[in-house]
Amino acid sequence: MFSRRVSRRARGVTIIELIVFMMIMGVAAAGIIGVINLSNSQSAEPLRRKQALMIAEALMEEVQLARFSFCTPADPNADTVANQAACAFPVQIGARAGGATRPYGNVAEYATVAGTPQSTFANVDGVDIDINGRPLGVDSSGNTMGRASLAPIRSTVTLNYVGALGPAGATVASGAGALNALQITIVTTYGTGANDFVRLDGYRTRYAPNLVP
């Protein structure tokens, strides 16, 4: 007895299988090309965001390094008073010395109204400038540094009173009559999109209230 081996003919793919394969490959290729196009069109965005973050950090540092005293330098007892109420000329948000320029002598001078974003760092043309009065990204000769101008980048600062800052039982509160601490918010916008901005929040307490220029 012997068994007869049944030969099988080699099969290829049907026209339907070929069409399905081509459709799958076409969709995959379209997806890859779309990702590449999106990456190329937005390749500058991470750099712009990084620039905005660096600007916001620099501006936050400028505000936080300013003095925060009970009284303005014009007060004869500024270096001896024990609280803001004892000042003839107390430091308050909105009270900016005439002719004052950046960097301001007191944290509170960086805004003229509490709780309202203000373009404190911009010139009359709405362009952010440094403490020397030059537009950001421009050297002393007026030349743009780098390949792109930083002029489209805009920043605002907001000073808010603090309800309770610190651990339980040792919190610090502030208000117009007792400016013990401030919340500082810097928002730097670098594009026209809804999320094209960076925001930094910081705090400044009045730890050296009698330190005046």
**φ/ψ of residue 51, rounded to 5:** -60, -45
Spans of all domains in the chain:
14-43, 46-213
125, 136 in Cβ contact below 8 A?
Answer: no
- Ordered per-residue pLDDT tens for the chain, 213 residues: 555 555 555 566 788 888 888 888 888 888 888 777 666 555 457 888 999 999 999 999 999 999 999 999 999 999 999 999 999 999 999 867 778 899 999 999 999 999 999 999 999 889 999 999 999 988 888 888 877 788 889 999 999 999 888 888 888 889 998 899 999 999 999 999 899 999 999 999 999 999 987
- In the numeric block, which tokens belong to residue 79? 């270096």
Which pTM was predicted?
0.77
Cα–Cα distance for residue pair 135/72, rounded to 1 Å: 29
DSSP line for 141-173: TSPBPSSS-STT-EEEEEEEE-S-BSSTTS-B-
- In the numeric block, which tokens belong to residue 156? 């605002």
Decide: residue 57, CB within 10 A, 0-12 exposed, 13-18 middle, 19+ buried: middle
